[in-house]
Structure 1
Amino acid sequence: MIIGSHVSIRDGYTGAAERAVANQASAFQYFPKNPRSLSIKEFDREDAKNCSSFCLEHQLYSVAHTPYSTSLTPVIDKQELTIASLLNDLEIADACGSIGVVVHYGSQISKTDPLASYHLMLDILNSVLSQWNGSSLILLENNAGTKGALGTTLEELVQIRNLCGYPEKIGFCLDTCHAFASGLWNGENTEELIAKGESLGYWEQLKVIHLNNSKYPTGSKKDRHANIFNSSIGYINADQLKELVGASVLAGIPLILETPDDEGISHKEEIEMIKQKWNQKFLENFEC
């Protein structure tokens, strides 16, 4: 099982990797720069190089996540800044040896033209990826459906990748809370979801899973994460999560916790609990 959590870069990129190892993790996620700004970061390249070497030495997987304000459907006066910011994120992720950069799917921008958002997303992606030749990928994350967000179906995610001029530079990130909140997955339709993903070729391009419980019921379109084993708050049964992420087609995909780290359980403790409770299932699937 490859599992970790989101960690801070307050001690640099290498410091983030070291924190992940201290948490007994085999993977981690980080913001490559200020999570509340699209400003371009002049990053410490030596630190990033050391992070990459450290991860190789410790067999540690990493993935970056774009700042909160990043959107693939930005307003006109933010489009060039968004493109520059995404390229900056990719450059940092690549220097750190990361799989890619997670970015949320876009939102509806027109009440009269349902295709306008998709056209803009393709324009932004093509502008970014035509300038990008590194190894790190853009990882499109499914949305919870909050405030008109698109990307709540596997069909949308796969189609944008297919229509992009550079599909080989795009992968996917599945967020279990988002899937539950949007109604894509309700905890009881796992076999159906797995079959759909196989028919669309989605799982072949899945590079990371955000492993999160949900503080609201399925179909609520509310994006609030809960801890995996907190049955008093989380609406997803831990066994349902285990069934989904333990499916054989998902074997070897890094699991990243974005759960609360201050609600009675730390990420280190949660990682250890998951290993103890789930690891045998993952070993069986890996062997298959």
Structure 2
Amino acid sequence: MCLRRSNMSDKPLLCLGTGLDFDEVPAVEQIEIMKSVGFDQFFYSETKNQRAADDEAVAEKAAKIGIGFHSIHAPFYAMDDMWHDESGELAKIMEQELKNSIDNCHNLDVPIVVMHAIIGMDNHTPTELGLERIGKIIDYAIKRGVTIGFENTEGECYLKALLDKYGELENVGFTYDSGHELCYNGGTDMLGKYGRYLISTHLDDNHGMTDPEHPNFLDDYHLLPFDGYADWEGIAKRLNKCGFDGSLTFEVDSKGRCGSHSNDMYLGMNIEQFVKAAYDHAVRFRDLFLATK
């Protein structure tokens, strides 16, 4: 399993996540569009009660058209139950979701599964119970030959707890989300804190925190890079300082959350136009990344 470029003189591969707020377009069609505009890879975002057959169809299409299957993003709708459900009944449901994602990675030869450490703006207390439960998920991933990238989201303390306990394991790493750093983590340098564990990225932009005292999921715009307030030259320099040599992976949305107008700059774009814009912004960031080495 290789998570890095074999030749450091090569340009980083460019990867885009499925979804994009074009739910009417099946993922098998989305990745064809990504391939047509120039993306090298994609990652597949799974949902609640994900059907393995859907992952298989995407993998089959990817192999046919020649686009790399970089990673799977596991469902995260109840990650708080992993930490705080004392009865264990709800946690069992989430545990099975995570195992299913790991199985899909194993069966389809996808090296990385990305997981959120927590969900919920009001959760600030990691528990030993949660560490134990997620530790069992990590053990399962080891047996299946899959690497877990824990992502910075709200509740950074949960990410810290996981990486402090399990970060030295070969199959545990950090997935850096630039947008979450800005709007959930208050601009704190996540790469400075956790860059030693870095295995993958979710690159996106926003306007920071509406209320610095109270993180709000509506602030997580997932704009294209350079369309918000993020310091992209600084991000490029920090990624290089970490020695990052993996794919540059982008997670972006074409619409605002809950009807907000945050992403109105993309109004009127069809999926082909939006994916092409995403590629142009990705190339721009890759050029910056290479220029700041």
TM-score by length of 2: 0.70
User: Does the 8 Å CA contact 2:174/2:199 hold for their aligned counterparts?
Assistant: yes
Q: Which amino acid aligns with 1:43?
A: A
Structure 2 counterpart of 1:94: 106
User: Does the 8 Å CA contact 2:225/2:281 hold for their aligned counterparts?
Assistant: no
2:199 to 201, 207, 223: 207
Q: What CA distance in whole angstroms lies between the structure 2 residues aligned with 1:96 and 1:14?
A: 15
1:27 to 36, 41, 44: 41
1:138 to 148, 156, 160: 148
Structure 2 counterpart of 1:125: 134
1:50 to 51, 60, 68: 60
Structure 1 counterpart of 2:3: none
2:173 to 171, 174, 181: 171
Q: What CA distance in whole angstroms lies between the structure 1 residues aligned with 2:43 and 2:164?
A: 26
Structure 2 counterpart of 1:236: 230
- Which structure 2 residues correspond to residues 12-91 of structure 1 after superposition, within 5 A? 15-32=29-46, 35=47, 37=48, 39=49, 41-43=51-53, 47=57, 50-51=60-61, 53-54=63-64, 57-58=66-67, 60-71=68-79, 72-73=82-83, 75=85, 76-91=88-103
TM-score by length of 1: 0.71
Q: Which amino acid aligns with 1:2?
A: L
Instruction: Indicate the RMSD between aligned Cα atoms, in angstroms.
Output: 3.6
Structure 2 counterpart of 1:278: 285
Aligned residues: 255
| 1:250 has 2:250 as partner | no
Query: 2:43 aligns to what SS in structure 1?
Result: strand
Query: 2:243 aligns to what SS in structure 1?
Result: helix
Query: 2:208 aligns to what SS in structure 1?
Result: coil
Q: What CA distance in whole angstroms lies between the structure 2 residues aligned with 1:120 and 1:10?
A: 39
Query: 1:168 aligns to what SS in structure 2?
Result: coil
User: Does the 8 Å CA contact 1:2/1:254 hold for their aligned counterparts?
Assistant: yes
Unaligned residue ranges in structure 1 (runs of 5+): none
Report deviation, 1:48.
Answer: 5.7
Structure 2 counterpart of 1:263: 264
- Which structure 2 residues correspond to residues 2-13 of structure 1 after superposition, within 5 A? 2-8=13-19
Q: Bigger CA drift: 221-230 or 79-88?
A: 221-230
Report deviation, 1:248.
Answer: 5.9
Q: Residue by residue, what CA displacement relative to the aligned partner does 1:234-255 show, whole Å, maximum 9, x if unpaired?
A: 2324433443445461233432
User: Does the 8 Å CA contact 1:62/1:98 hold for their aligned counterparts?
Assistant: yes
Structure 1 counterpart of 2:259: none
Q: Which amino acid aligns with 1:123?
A: E
Structure 1 counterpart of 2:4: none
Q: Which amino acid aligns with 1:64?
A: I
Identity of aligned residues (%): 14
| Compared CA separation, residues 274 and 206, structure 1 to 2 (3 A) | same
User: Does the 8 Å CA contact 2:201/2:250 hold for their aligned counterparts?
Assistant: yes
User: Does the 8 Å CA contact 2:45/2:72 hold for their aligned counterparts?
Assistant: yes
Q: Which amino acid aligns with 2:74?
A: T
| Compared CA separation, residues 64 and 70, structure 1 to 2 (3 A) | farther
Q: What CA distance in whole angstroms lies between the structure 2 residues aligned with 1:82 and 1:49?
A: 24
Q: What CA distance in whole angstroms lies between the structure 2 residues aligned with 1:249 and 1:68?
A: 29
Unaligned residue ranges in structure 2 (runs of 5+): 1-11, 256-262, 267-273
Report deviation, 1:109.
Answer: 11
